[in-house]
Chains A and B, each alone.
Chain A
Amino acid sequence: MSVTNVHKDFDSLTITLVADFDAPAERVWQLWADPRQLERWWGPPSHPATVEEHDLTPGGEVTYFMTGPDGEKYRGWWRVTSVNPPKSLEFTDGFANQDGTPIAEMPTTRVRMQLTEHDGGTRMELRGVFDSREQMEQLMNMGAAEGLQQAVGQMDALLAG
């Protein structure tokens, strides 16, 4: 198992995943930088990805679609914000309509991928932050507050009883 650590923070809707690969950083980088390799792992086996645009430069875009078992297509996009081969890549990942335009109501994820040398192989750290938009932001701001409120509410109810 190459995933060595996963950490989730419900307050900031952030997930950090660490994976160790027995391969040099250059090789791991190619999995992201070569669209033909990218499409071999991005989508699950039931929904393989086809990468169309693939411009890994700041401001550049990656567009792709995943094809489901019934032939239905799910489109997605990345907007690249930072590229530093073979060390780091940052982009926003989102969903698109059938014509390729981003769907505004769907949550986007800001992704930062970092590669470092580790034990003769490569450690990949992936951090994903949900770009909350209204509902997601609300959801999260409420998260801790609501939880605490619930706990305090329980105490109040008990004290009143």
Chain B
Amino acid sequence: MVVDALTDEAVDHVFHALADATRRDILRRCLRGEPSVSRLAEAYPMSFAAVQKHVAVLERAGLVTKERRGREQLVRTDSDAVRRARQILDQLETAWRGRVDRMSHLLAQVPDPEENNPTRGQDR
């Protein structure tokens, strides 16, 4: 978000978004990670719908974006450093998801007695 390019309406949205302590706290949490809306809702003494409304205000101001991941809605904010960290962790997640899939696949197979010999690895 480029400050120079903000219209008056956008400025109003940002001011309105940051004028509330809960929304500032939500923004801080989004800078540290990418909480889901339900995880955020657990953190405040208010209803899920109320938290959802706060997130919508931040979203309208362009301070966060929502991304659907499975059944969850993740709330993210963008900065270069966070983006790079996210890329690194996303790569690791992809690698591990692949590994877990292959592990499941192996576990689903009938164990081969020869391959399942636990002493074999230790002999090497």
Contact = CB atoms under 8 A, between A and B. Distances in A.
Contacts of A22: 107-108
A148 to B, nearest CB: 6
B124 interface: yes
Contacts of B81: 139-140, 142-143, 146-147
Interface string A94-134: 00000000000001010000000000000010101010000
A44 B79 CA distance: 31
User: DSSP class of A's interface residues: helix, strand, loop or mixed?
Assistant: mixed
Interface in B74-124: 77, 79-82, 84-86, 88-89, 92-93, 95-108, 111, 115-118, 120-121, 124
Contacts of A158: 3, 6, 11, 14-15
- Choose among A2, A10, A37, A144 the residue with the greatest number of B CB atoms under 10 Å from its CB: A10
B27 interface: yes
Interface in B1-41: 1, 3, 6, 11, 14-15, 18, 27-28, 31-34
Contact of B93 (A2, A6, A124): A6
A150 interface: yes
A143 B89 contact: no
A33 B85 CA distance: 31
Q: Which 10 A-B pairs have the closest CB atoms?
A: A41-B102, A147-B79, A147-B31, A143-B81, A10-B85, A157-B3, A23-B107, A146-B81, A34-B121, A19-B100
Interface of B: 1, 3, 6, 11, 14-15, 18, 27-28, 31-34, 63, 77, 79-82, 84-86, 88-89, 92-93, 95-108, 111, 115-118, 120-121, 124
Given A8-B93, A31-B107, A154-B14, 18 more contacts: A15-B93, A23-B107, A27-B111, A33-B118, A35-B120, A41-B99, A107-B88, A128-B92, A139-B84, A143-B31, A143-B85, A146-B79, A146-B80, A148-B28, A150-B79, A151-B31, A158-B11, A158-B14
